[in-house]
């Protein structure tokens, strides 16, 4: 869908999340379609790389624990993207100039599920700066909160933040014993 949208501005405009059109013209499909198009090749590559980095392990964990529900992982992915859209829908429903594209919100959810299950696994930034995933997750949440309040860029930090919150929620819903076990080995006991 991204490659079609790159070459056809009409499709890009029809598939992007435009909260104004969702609210006033009832174009609800945009809440789903925007997750499958990207602003440019760099955006698509970065989202694809992040999905590959965390999605494969997360998918494996879902399929191992819930083999009778092979649709669960894709469903979590899609629902996370919808949840990540909420800040834009609520805050920009009367702003026809606000548009969002990309899978970052859904991928943020997978990232935080990974963090909750593997808090000491190293995440390497730029291939050489490696930190525990729990620290990375805390920095990611902090940056998303900061970006959502302060940033004036085209990055939808609210989508990242709500996607991350969705991931924490889904980790607790589907993997509570595993999360308790993984975090109890890391966090000090009170």
> Which CATH number do you get for residue 39?
1.20.1540.10
Here the tokens at position 53 are 């980095």
Question: Considering the domain boundaries, does residue 47 fall inside one?
Answer: yes
Residue 149 — very low, low, confident or very high, per pLDDT cuts 50/70/90? Answer: confident
Give the residue among 153, 123, 150 at the shortest CA–CA distance from 136.
123
Here the tokens at position 35 are 């997750």
Question: Considering the domain boundaries, does residue 189 fall inside one?
Answer: no
CA of residue 165 relative to chain centroid, distance: 9
Give the residue among 77, 164, 151, 160 at the shortest CA–CA distance from 112.
164
User: Residue 109: exposed, middle, or buried by beta-carbon count in 10 A (0-12, 13-18, 19+)?
Assistant: buried
> How does the average pLDDT of the chain come out, rounded?
93
Give the residue among 165, 154, 167 at the shortest CA–CA distance from 102.
154
Question: Considering the domain boundaries, does residue 188 fall inside one?
Answer: no
pLDDT over 90 (residue 125): no
Helix (H) or strand (E) holding 132: strand 129-132
Handedness of CA 183, 188, 189, 190 (dihedral sign): negative
Here the tokens at position 39 are 């602003």
Give pTM, 2 decimals: 0.92
The domain total for the chain is: 1
So what's the pLDDT on residue 128? Answer: 80
Handedness of CA 33, 39, 41, 42 (dihedral sign): negative
Question: Considering the domain boundaries, does residue 190 fall inside one?
Answer: no
Supply the range of the domain harboring residue 150: 2-183
Question: Considering the domain boundaries, does residue 113 fall inside one?
Answer: yes
Q: Greatest CA span in the chain, whole angstroms?
A: 57
So what's the pLDDT on residue 150? Answer: 84
Question: Considering the domain boundaries, does residue 84 fall inside one?
Answer: yes
Question: Considering the domain boundaries, does residue 171 fall inside one?
Answer: yes
Rounded distance, CA 138 to CA 140, Å?
5
Taking a C-beta distance cutoff of 8 angstroms, is the pair 102, 47 a contact?
yes
Question: Considering the domain boundaries, does residue 96 fall inside one?
Answer: yes
So what's the pLDDT on residue 126? Answer: 73
SS3 14: helix
């Amino acid at each position: 869908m991204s490659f079609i949208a790159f070459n056809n501005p009409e499709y890009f405009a029809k598939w992007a999340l435009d909260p104004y059109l969702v609210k006033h013209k009832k174009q609800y499909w945009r809440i789903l379609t925007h997750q499958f198009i990207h602003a440019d090749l760099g955006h698509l590559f970065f989202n694809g790389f992040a999905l590959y980095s965390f999605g494969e392990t997360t998918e494996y964990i879902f399929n191992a624990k819930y083999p009778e529900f092979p649709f669960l992982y894709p469903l979590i992915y899609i629902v996370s993207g919808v949840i990540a859209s909420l800040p834009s829908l609520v805050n920009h429903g009367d702003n026809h100039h606000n548009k969002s594209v990309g899978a970052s919100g859904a991928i943020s959810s997978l990232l935080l599920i990974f963090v909750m299950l593997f808090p000491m696994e190293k995440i390497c930034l730029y291939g050489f700066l490696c930190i525990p995933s729990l620290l990375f997750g805390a920095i990611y949440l902090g940056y998303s909160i900061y970006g959502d309040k302060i940033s004036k860029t085209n990055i939808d930090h609210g989508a990242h933040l709500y996607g991350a919150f969705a991931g924490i929620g889904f980790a607790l819903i589907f993997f509570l014993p595993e999360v308790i076990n993984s975090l109890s080995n890391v966090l000090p006991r009170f």
